[in-house]
Every structure is written in structure tokens, then in C-alpha cells.
Amino acid sequence: MNAIDVIIAKRDRARLTDEQIDWVVDAYTRGVVADEQMAALAMAILLNGMDAGEIARWTQAMIDSGDVLAFGDVGRPLVDKHSTGGVGDKITLPLAPLVAACGAAVPQLSGRGLGHTGGTLDKLESIPGWRASLSEEEIAAQLADVGAVICATTPTLAPADRKLYALRDVTGTVESIPLIASSIMSKKIAEGTDGLVLDVKFGSGAFMKTPERARELAEAMVAIGTAHGLATTALLTDMSVPLGRAVGNALEVAESVEVLRGGGPADVVELTVALAREMLVLAGITDVDPAQVLASGKAYEVWERMIAAQGGDPGAPLPVAAHVEELVAERSGVLTRLDAYAIGVASWRLGAGRARKEDAVQAAAGVRLLVDVGDEVEAGHPLLELHTDTPDAVPGARAALNGGVLVSDEPMSRPTLLLDAVRG
């Protein structure tokens, strides 16, 4: 077997054999296949696709590159959620404690942000003392005790994906449905959850720009889950405008705490409760209403215990940016455009995100939205706040917002958040 034959096969639109897939994923993980060869193969896959059988085998090969976690009996059904990523998408933060408060256990192994979408670990690291890295034993103990864990993936979980994802990120090969589906599902299957709910986003702030592409991705992931005996449901949700009013690490933690205390923006509450309902169905818990549990404050109690179990102080003040500026309306009218991608890039440039894996993020940087799509505004009215510790980042952030935030005369309302569900 050699890498060139595999690359040429996919370049010429052939179906890869099981042996080719097993060999190339394993050889790449061990460093026998070089980065430039895997980059060429990833591009050939992006351009020519893989069929369902190839995707299933590729996923299995990535799972087999590392260990499958086994938490043992934690006394509750295990159920997890994964979002394909968006702007202001802090849903994991209120969702994990909410589902735990309803009786399931949530092993949420998460990543850091790269590009314009934020990472869950970066958000939680804005809480003083909070620790992302836990051993498998610590995760199991916290699942049994608290019912919810949000932490970094362990180093032995799907190492082929870690290496390949970093390569795709710098070779323009992220937006391939077979590669995204196998990347996400290999990690979730290796994590050992019993049920999985996927939040597959579409719109300017998402990887998938249209509902049609999002549905294709959702169907590919649900098919992989079903083939592996993992109960999987996907919700298709809008990401053309940011979720909630806060974009940026500490800003999103603060908004999540508002939701856990029974308040917060309506769209964040709606999506949190909708995902919780789907997770509870997969966990076989049908007699608990997550909306009531959220309003009761029980999810907030689990949040406090979950943060404290990982060394964080849930009562400590969150970092505040050294510099805050407003973007104001240049004319009177209706806010008709609040583009998720533009706001994600602005927040990233203010310091909330990183350009390279090694970069540090600013805990307090980001964007706070002061008005919503459809709101009437007067000329000079503040539309958003730009938060940063490095004021020289502001011109770049303002440039990113050019055309992405628009006041005009057309009546407008927020797009529908929940489009559809794909069930296994």
C-alpha cells in the first residue's frame, strides 16, 4: 500500500477500499504518510466526495486510531450534544447542567475555538480557577457525582482526527461533508456516550451556508451514529444572526448564567430547552420538563457544582475589558442585518479568538449586541459594544462589521431558529 495510489484513486473519483482507508488513516497517524500527502487526499475527498460506506469506514479508522473511553456505570444514562459551531453559540454551558438536573449524565468533551467561531473551553477558562484538563477517572467521578462535565478531549481520543483537523484547517479542506461528519462522529463515538443530539447550523456564521447543505451533513452524521448503534438526532438551526446578545468568552459565560438563573435572551433559552428535550428523549427520561427545571433554578445549582468540581469559583467576578466602544446607527430606521459571520470576525479581531492554535485569547474581548433584528433605531443610537484589552484592534473589528450591520427602511424580523429535525 502506498499513499500516492490512494491519492490518485480519489483524485480519479474511484471508491476507496476498506483496506486503503484503514491503511492511510493509520499510516498518517503514525507519521508514515506525510502532511502534504494527506493534504492532497483531503482535497481530493473535498472535491470528489465519499459514499456512505467509505464515510463509515473512515470514521471507524479514526476511532481505532486511539482509545474508546469507558466511564463505567455512573448511575444515569449518558447523553451528549455537539454543535457544528456558530457565533455566540454558548448553548453547551446552560445545556449540560440543565440535562444533568433532569436526571441524565452529560460527558461534554469540547474543543477550543479557531477562526470566527468560539470554543467552549476558551469561554469556561474565563472563570477564575477553572481547569479544562481532566483524567478519564476524574471525568467518570464527576459524572457520577454532579452529572455534568465540560472538559478537554483526552489525548488518546481519536488522535487521527486531531492531526487531520489541524491539517484541514490550514489547507482549505474543512468544508467537506464526509470529513466533517467523520471528524465529529469519530470523537463522539469514541467518547462512549449512549445518545447524541447534534445541532447542525446553517447560515453565514456556520460551516454550512445553506439549509440544504446542513441537512446533507445532518443526514450523514445520523447515518454514522445509527450504523454504530449510537442513538442520534440532529436539529437544523439558523446561524445567520448570532445566538443571544453576547459574543466572546466571559461575555458568553455571563449570558449563560443569566439563562441558568431563569432569564437571558429568548433564542438562547429556546434552543437550550429544545436540545435538552431531544437529549432527554434519547436518555429515556420523558417525565421531566426541562423548561420548568431551568426556571426552577435547579440547573443553576448543578452549574455551580460543575464549575467548582473543576477548580472554578462560580461566584467570582468575570474579567472585564479595559476598553469598550460603541458602534452607533448612522441613520434612523429598522435594524435589518446583524450578520453572524461579520460579528464573529469582529469579536475574533478584538481578541476573543485566535489566528493560530498557539495564540492566547482575551477572556474579556468580544461584542455585545444592544439591539435586535427588527428593532427601530434612531440615528446615533448605539447598536453594539466592542470590548477589548487592546484598543488598536478596534479599527479591524469595525472594518469587519462594515456591511454586516445595516439599518434600512424595510420591516424585518428574526429568522426562525429551529428549522427541522433529522432522526435516526
Interface residue list for ligand URA (CB under 6 A): 84-85, 165, 174, 179-180, 183-184
Q: Which of 187, 277, 349, 387 is catalytic?
A: 187
Is there a catalytic annotation at residue 161?
A: yes
Query: Smallest distance from the beta carbon of 179 to ligand URA, in angstroms?
Result: 6
**How many other CB atoms sit within 10 Å of the CB of residue 141?**
17
Of 201 and 277, which has the nearer Cβ to ligand URA?
201
Query: Smallest distance from the beta carbon of 84 to ligand URA, in angstroms?
Result: 6
Query: Smallest distance from the beta carbon of 167 to ligand URA, in angstroms?
Result: 11
Is there a catalytic annotation at residue 110?
A: no
Query: Smallest distance from the beta carbon of 48 to ligand URA, in angstroms?
Result: 18
The C-alpha atoms of residue 373 and residue 337 are separated, in whole angstroms, by 6
The C-alpha atoms of residue 54 and residue 33 are separated, in whole angstroms, by 19
Query: Smallest distance from the beta carbon of 334 to ligand URA, in angstroms?
Result: 34
Q: Give the contacts of 89 (CB within 8 A, at least 6 positions apart).
A: 83, 117, 118, 199, 201, 239, 243
Q: Which of 110, 182, 183, 204 is catalytic?
A: 183
Q: Give the contacts of 105 (CB within 8 A, at least 6 positions apart).
A: 74, 75, 76, 77, 78, 79, 143, 144, 147, 148
Q: Which of 80, 89, 161, 199 is catalytic?
A: 161
Length of the chain (residues): 424
Is there a catalytic annotation at residue 82?
A: yes
Are the CB atoms for 81 and 191 separated by under 8 Å? no
Q: Report helix angle 35-48 to 159-169, nearest 10.
A: 80
> Which amino acid does the sequence have at 305?
R
Q: Which of 82, 215, 349, 354 is catalytic?
A: 82
407 phi and psi, to 5 degrees? -110, 130
Of 174 and 370, which has the nearer Cβ to ligand URA?
174
Strands 246-247 vs 333-338: parallel, antiparallel or unpaired: unpaired
Q: Give the contacts of 162 (CB within 8 A, at least 6 positions apart).
A: 153
Of 153 and 256, which has the nearer Cβ to ligand URA?
153
Of 117 and 249, which has the nearer Cβ to ligand URA?
117
Catalytic residues: 82, 161, 168, 183, 187
